[in-house]
Structure 1
Amino acid sequence: MADEPDEVPGLDVPVTMFEDVEDLKAKVVHLTAQLEAIVGGRGSEPGDALAEGEKAAGGEAVDESGDEEEWQYPPFILLLDPPEYDDELRALIEWVEGVLVPGYLAEPSADARWCHLWWEHPVAIARLHAVWLAWQECTDPASCGYTGPSVWHRDHLDPALRELRGSSGPFAGCTKGEHQVDHRLPGLVPSAWTHAED
Structure 2
Amino acid sequence: MADDGVPDFDVPVGLFEDLEDLKAQVAALTNQVKVLSGDASDGPGEGEAPAGSESDAGEEVAEDGADEDEWQFPPFILLLDPPEYDDELRALVEWVEGVLVPGYLAEPSADARWCHLWFEHPVAIARLHALWLAWQELTDPATCGYTGPSTWHRDHLDPCMLQLRGSGGPFAGCTKGEHQIDHRMPGIVPSAWRMSDD
| TM-score category of the 2 structures, normalised to the smaller one | 0.5 to 0.7
Structure 2 residue 20 is matched with structure 1 residue 18: no
| Corresponding pairs, count | 157
1:168 maps to amino acid: G
Question: CA 1:25–1:112 in 2, change beyond 3 Å: closer, same or farther?
Answer: farther
Structure 2 residue 130 is matched with structure 1 residue 130: yes
Aligned to 1:169: 169
**Structure 1: gaps (5+ residues):** 1-7, 33-41, 44-51, 56-60, 189-198
Structure 2 residue 90 is matched with structure 1 residue 90: yes
Larger radius of gyration: 2
What is the alpha-carbon distance in structure 2 between the residues aligned to residue 157 and residue 20 of structure 1? 49
Aligned to 2:118: 118
What is the alpha-carbon distance in structure 1 between the residues aligned to residue 107 and residue 91 of structure 2? 24
Structure 2 residue 69 is matched with structure 1 residue 71: yes
What is the alpha-carbon distance in structure 2 between the residues aligned to residue 21 and residue 135 of structure 1? 39
Identity %: 68
**Structure 2 length-normalised TM:** 0.64
What is the alpha-carbon distance in structure 2 between the residues aligned to residue 20 and residue 155 of structure 1? 46
C-alpha deviations, 1:110-146, integer Å up to 9, x for none? 1111111100111000000000011111111111111
Question: CA 1:19–1:145 in 2, change beyond 3 Å: closer, same or farther?
Answer: farther
Question: CA 1:15–1:79 in 2, change beyond 3 Å: closer, same or farther?
Answer: closer
Deviation at 1:175, TM superposition (A): 1.2
Q: What RMSD, in angstroms, separates the aligned Cα atoms of the two structures? A: 3.8
Aligned to 1:194: none
Deviation at 1:74, TM superposition (A): 3.6
What is the alpha-carbon distance in structure 1 between the residues aligned to residue 168 and residue 114 of structure 2? 12
Aligned to 2:195: none
Aligned to 1:109: 109
What is the alpha-carbon distance in structure 2 between the residues aligned to residue 149 and residue 17 of structure 1? 41
**Structure 2: gaps (5+ residues):** 30-35, 38-50, 189-198
**Structure 1 length-normalised TM:** 0.64
